[in-house]
A = this chain, B = another copy of it.
């Protein structure tokens, strides 16, 4: 099996041989820090280092890789003097996650531990 490193385009091969966009999206989002990055950028742009701080000091290597993926996916953009921020599309995606916040609260109360 061919292994893939960073590109969404290539991922769509693994995530979905039928080319279903949902598979490519789930594959993109199902990588460490991707959801977290989108979450942290939810209401203000962050510099790469601020983002790293927000993300619990995740290693810059993987953050850069994810930011690269997200920029290719047109969900995040780098504004020259302002750091990283969600694109219009990225903001739209984030709105799908808003209910997650409330859900997470309920979830943490209902689970066994």
Contact = CB atoms under 8 A, between A and B. Distances in A.
**Interface of chain A: mostly helix, strand, loop or mixed:** helix
A103 to B, nearest CB: 6
Nearest to A25: B104
A30 B27 contact: no
Size class of the A contact interface (CB-based, 8 Å): 35 or more
Contacts of A100: 22, 25-26, 96
A9 to B, nearest CB: 5
Interface of A: 8-9, 14-17, 20-27, 29-36, 39, 56, 72-75, 89, 92-93, 96-97, 99-101, 103-108, 110-113
Contacts of A101: 22
